[in-house]
Every structure is written in structure tokens, then in C-alpha cells.
Amino acid sequence: MIRCVLYRPGTGAVEHGGSELLDIWAHDQESIIWTDLYENDAEEETRLMIEHFDLNPLAIQDAQRSRHPPKIEAFDGVTFMLFKGLHGEASDLTFRTIQLALFVGGRFLVTRHSGPSPSIEQLGGEITRQDSPIAQGADVLALRLLRIMSDRYLNLILTIEPRLEQIEDEMIKNPHDELLAELINYKTNLKKYTRVFLYHVQVISELQRRRFPSIGADQNHLVTDVYEQQERASSLGRLYYETAADLIDGYISVASHRLNNIMKILTIVTAIFVPLSFLAGIYGMNFEYMPELKSQAGYFVLLGIMGSMVAVLLYVFRKKKWL
């Protein structure tokens, strides 16, 4: 699918359409165009990007790969940026990412994504507003897209904080294996999350430090804004990863403590019944000449001794605060 948005500065008109707008843009040297590519034939995409925008073939190959680390490069007046965007179905930390490529030129922005992108859809909705970012230039449009993408990541990770607090409370009151499984899942996904944002922060940091073609120097405040949002999301990702790891350790400690208490009770029960079993075993032997065998009070004396032993052991355990 090829979607184009053409902006004419002279009239302020915004036109939505397909590849037919590319010819109009080529003849109107003041117009700005945003071309979004999704689910197209690779050869068709390559031909379109080379013929109409003269993009570097190596950059196009990187944009079309299913897996590639985020990066930023400059090619003949064009800035090429590659990010990991959130998939359209991402609603919790079990997220999926897509390849999101941006080619920023003086009069154009070309985006290419490997899956559904709500960030692209949101930016498309903002095009129709009076303060449309496309009216301020292709670089502003690209930076606005990066800010939207960062906000999606940040909003996604903020949903985990209240859940981690709930898990901590449940862990103290009623620890169970489902909580541990959930924490391990959070920890695994947060590890992936922080890895993605480590790349993103590096890319935006490089955009801050160096001048790249078609990114105006007067847009430094927008670049800084995107960087701060990315850095905040990255730091929260690390924080929640460490929190999840601490909760896992805490769960194991609580489970070990509960197991120790159970073992202590079992040990006390064993300590009480071992001497009783010993006496029962002694007097359960069927020898004819046992001294107490013929005594009428022998049975009651033995029960009294056994009861006394239980009472003494319970007293000792309570005094030592084992019970």
C-alpha cells in the first residue's frame, strides 16, 4: 500500500492520495510530500524510492530487512533512520516490534514499516489539523512521528507499575506460582524493552550531537524533546526490570521462609513422637518376662510417662519460641 500526503505551502492545501501525487510533487518545487509504504512488493518499493526520491539502495535494503538494529545514517542530502516501532496489536508488555524506517529529505518524508503502526495512523490524523506538522517541514514531521512512537512505548511501560505494586501485596499475603510466572514474564519482556530503547537513545543522542542533512538546526528543541522522552522510557524500563528481579528474589525468600516454618513444625512433631514411638515399640514386643507386663497399673503408668514427655517437650519448645 502506498499512501501519500501532499502539502502546498502557497495555499495551505493538504491532499491525500496514492502514488499519483508523486508526479504533482515533482513538478511543484515548493510542495512537501509524505509517502508511507506498507505491504508492498520489495522490488516495487525499491524502484519507487530510487526513481522519485533518489534514495541510496543500501539504505533501502536495510529498511526492507525483517530484523536490523536501529541506526541513523546520512546519504546525499537525506537522513536515514531505522527504529523498532510498536506493533499495532501491542497492548501490554508482551509486545511485538516492527521495523520503522524514515528517509528525511528537504521536501519529503518517506516512511516504511513492516507491520501495522498506530504511530503512523496517529500522525496521519494530525496532518489534517490547522497546526499540521507537515506545514513546518519534513524534518518536523519526522520528529513528530518519533515523539508519538516514544509516547506509545512510555504509556505501555507505565501500565506495569500499579501491577507490580499489586503483585508485591499479593506476594506477602498469598504467594503462589502464578505470581512467580507473571514476574518472570515481566522480567523477560522488560529485558527486551530496555534493549530496544538502548538503541533508540543512542540514535537520538547521535542526532543531537551531529548535524544531519535535511534536519534543521532550529529543530534542536524537538530533537531534545524526543531524546528526553526516549531516555525517560529507557530509565523506567531499567527501573521496572530491577523491581521485577527484586520481587522474584523476594518471592523466593518468602517461599523459603514459609517452607522453613512448615519444616520446623514437622520437626517438632517428629521430635515429640520419636520418644513416644520408642516407648510404644519397647512395650509392643511380645516377651513373656517383661517386668511391667503383669502389673495392673503398668498401662496407665506408661501413658502417664508418655503424656509427661509430651508436656515437657512442648514447654521446652515454647520457651525457646519454636512454637
> What percent of the chain lies above the pLDDT cut of 70?
97
CA distance 42 to 60: 10
189 and 288 in a common domain: no
149-169 pLDDT, tens digit per residue, is 999 888 888 888 888 888 888
CA distance 144 to 117: 14
185 and 294 in a common domain: no
295 and 229 in a common domain: no
Residue 296 structural domain: 258-319
171 and 74 in a common domain: yes
Residue 258 reports pLDDT greater than 90: no
Domain count, the chain: 2
Mean pLDDT of 172-193: 85
205 and 233 in a common domain: yes
At 135, list the grid cell: 506545514
pLDDT given at position 11:
81
Mean pLDDT of 68-94: 84
287 and 227 in a common domain: no
Residue 196 reports pLDDT greater than 70: yes
- Can you tell me whether residue 21 is helix, strand or coil? helix
Domain limit, last residue, from 230, 254, 278: 254
Mean pLDDT of 260-278: 84
42 and 132 in a common domain: yes
Residue 93 reports pLDDT greater than 70: no
Q: What CATH code is carried by the domain that includes residue 273? A: 1.20.58.340
243 and 270 in a common domain: no
At 257, list the grid cell: 521462609
93 and 70 in a common domain: yes
Local confidence band at 94 (pLDDT 50, 70, 90 cut-offs): low
Distance of CA 177 to the CA centre of its chain: 21
309 and 213 in a common domain: no
157 and 275 in a common domain: no
